[in-house]
Structure 1
Amino acid sequence: MPCRYYYPNVRDQMVAKGVLPLSRLCAMVTMHHREEVGIQAFCLPLTLRSENPAETHTPSSGLLNVNVTYRRSVRSPVGALATRMVSISVQIHRATGLQAAARALAEEDPSFQYSAEVGVNAFVIIRPSFLPEVESRNTRTVARSFCPEFDHHSEFPCNILTQRSSGEACSLAEILHSSEIVLSIHHQSVTSADVGKIHPAHDYHLGVEYLAGTQ
């Protein structure tokens, strides 16, 4: 939960956070339902952001009500080993607090100073650890902003049952229990080498967030 401050300068700062484990999301789609579209409500305790890194237990600062609307359908891939599948849906609305990350990067790389002042060209890479790397997805790039609005939606088809190399069958719930979705945010740098042409340069890594199946 970010809070926007306007004095002495405009900035976004995280003041509290709540955690929704992936295993609870998985439970919604692996259970049998008659309805194709479902709604699940969660009441998540908010934990205050502690200024002391050594402090492990922080008091609860309230509750955050979250309603998750999801669509469930059974998919069967072509082939002799067809199995039931579900889709994990990931939506990324916006990112905040990127100016602090840009300023920290500019201290290490002076060429990044301009972007730290006018805004970064931000995009997010979505990488589920339980799927092959080729299944990673990217959001669109939002130019010159410290609070980019992505409004991105991705779906990741997953087998409800998979077979390990040992031959043992493993459910999707078991896999998500020890997995995570990695959200890494980057700055897309461009340079004008020729007139009328824009050539992509190397990207800068601004930060990362882990959505873990368990906490």
Structure 2
Amino acid sequence: MAKLTKKQKEAAAKIEKNKLYNLKEASALVKQVASAKFDESVDIAVRLGVDPRKANQMVRGVVTLPHGTGKDVRVLALVTPDKEAEAKAAGADHVGLDDYLQKIKDGWTDIDVIVTVPAVMGKLGPLGRVLGPRGLMPNPKTGTVTMEVGKAVNDIKSGKIDFKVDKTGIVHAGIGRVSFDADKISDNAHEIIQTLIKLKPTAAKGQYIKSIHLSSTMSPAIALDPKAV
């Protein structure tokens, strides 16, 4: 096991062992324990009482964070010519179709989100092996397959993120930067937690929100009290 650096030890010492923090406390603390020279990402990890292997317990959704993610999300709009101007006006970083499909086929994936229209989905099927593992395949459920291309691009640029429970039952999401005010980190975390609560599958039994942890890119995780969010 790698030894902790002096900064990592100092950060860990600020977090009380076995204490469950409320959201406001954790949001302030995650700023205090961040020690990197860059603006670290603030991430949330929520362990759910679901079995992701069962279709009726899959948790997936979208949320618009009130204060955005602090990240410049690179959006590719794979659209027909009649939608290109709309996508560009909304701020899409890349707009086109066949030329970008070829680039992806050749291995290019230097983007964060793809927005497309229903008529193009047939062309994306063969690229599933490239896009799927990277979480780039557009999906109507997350609003990335739509005729309202401009709105979709604008929403993503404004802080809309999609999330999905992983095979271990955990939802991971980036919810801001350590440069954010603690209140903004708290607001963003609260928004995604409340969204997850609303998405509780009827088939899920027992405790639904099992644990919540807040951390920055280089800091130890801070445990939250699931009952105090």
Sort the TM-score into its range (normalised by shorter chain). under 0.3
> Counting strand residues as a fraction of each chain, which structure ranks higher?
1
Q: Using CA pairs under 8 Å that are at least 6 residues apart, name the structure with larger relative contact order, 1 or 2.
A: 2
TM-score by length of 2: 0.23
